[in-house]
Each structure stands twice: as C-alpha cells, then as structure tokens.
Amino acid sequence: MNDAITLTEDDEGKDVVNADGDSIGRVTSVEHGTAHIDPDPSLTDTIRSKLGWGEADENNYQLDSASIASVSDDEIHLDR
C-alpha cells in the first residue's frame, strides 16, 4: 500500500486496474484528491472524462487512495 499517492484532475480518464490486471472502471473525476470511478463507463462517459468534463454522480464510487499501488500515464493500479 502507498498512502503517499495523491490523485489530481490530470488522472481523470485513466483506467483503474486491479491487482490481476483487469480493468474495473475509469476515473470520471477527482475532487480534493479523491477519485470517483465509473465501474462501467459508456463511450460518452469515457470521452467526457478524457476531456475533463466528468462529474461524480450516483453511479460512481470513491476510490480509497490507500488501495492504489501505482499510477502510470494511462492507468491507476490497485494493490488488491
């Protein structure tokens, strides 16, 4: 676990990948360092988040930063 990772708006649109390498969703927005994940993004949602137009809603889930193992240019990797 890495508690030092802080997400920013630059992370919006990135895929979230579990420890097995499976994509489990996409970051739709980041507010105050907390990412909001859409577990089943549509093409429209994907484009919106890539453009920074994402917003948190009832279909999104907060990502616990303590679960993040690493962040690359295109993905957020979870440790579990």
How much is the pTM? 0.75
pLDDT digits (tens, 9 = 90+) for 22-62: 888 889 899 888 899 888 766 566 656 655 555 556 678 88
H, E, C per residue of 27-67: EEEEECCEEEEECCCCHHHHHHHHCCCCCCCCCCEEECHHH
Asked whether the predicted pLDDT for residue 14 surpasses 90, the reply is: yes
**Residues 25, 2: Cα–Cα separation, whole Å:** 20
User: For residue 40, what pLDDT is reported?
Assistant: 73
Structural domains present in the chain = 9-78 (2.30.30)
Which tokens belong to 64? 């616990």
Bridge partners, 62 (sequence order): 36
